[in-house]
Amino acid sequence: MSKIFLNRSRQSLGQFTPEAVSEGLKSGKFLPTDLAWRDGMESWQPLSSLTDLPLAEEEAELPPLPEETEVKVISDEMLIEPAWERRSEIGVFSALAETIKQIFANPSATFAHMKRDGGYWGPLSFLLLVGIPSYIFAVVCITVAQMSILAGSGESQVILRKIYPDKGSIIHMMLTNMLLSPLTITATAFIGAAVIHLFLMISGGARESLKTTFRIYCYVNGAACVLQFIPLCGMYIYFIGAFILLCIALRVTHGTDSWRAVFAVVVPVIFAGIIFMLLFLPLVSTLMPH
Could you tell me how many residues make up the chain? 290
Residues 67-126 that bind another protein (CB under 8 A): 108
For the bound state, the minimum distance from the C-beta of residue 87 to another protein, rounded and expressed in Å, comes to: 28
Indicate the helix (H) or strand (E) that contains 16: strand 11-16
| Residue 114 per-residue DSSP state | S
Secondary structure tally for the chain: helices H, strands E: 11, 4
- Give ∠ CA 262-264-269 in degrees, rounded to 5: 90
Residues 179-218 that bind another protein (CB under 8 A): none
- The site for another protein, by CB under 8 A, has a size of 51
| Residue 116 per-residue DSSP state | S
Residues 32-61 that bind another protein (CB under 8 A): 35, 37, 39, 42-44
| CB-nearer residue toward another protein: 225 or 265 | 265
Q: Is residue 235 close enough to count as binding another protein by CB under 8 A?
A: yes
CB contact set of 4 (below 8 Å; sequence gap of 6+): 15, 16, 17, 18, 21, 36, 37, 38, 50
Look at phi and psi of residue 63 and say left if phi exceeds 0, alpha if psi is from -120 to 50, else beta.
beta
User: What binding mask, one character per residue, do residues 132-171 give for another protein by CB under 8 A, x or -?
Assistant: ---------x--xxx-xx-----xx--xx-----------
Which chain residues interact with another protein by CB under 8 A?
A: 3, 5, 7, 9-12, 15, 35, 37, 39, 42-44, 108, 141, 144-146, 148-149, 155-156, 159-160, 231-233, 235-236, 239-240, 243-244, 247-248, 251, 257-259, 262, 265-266, 269-270, 273, 276-277, 280-281, 284
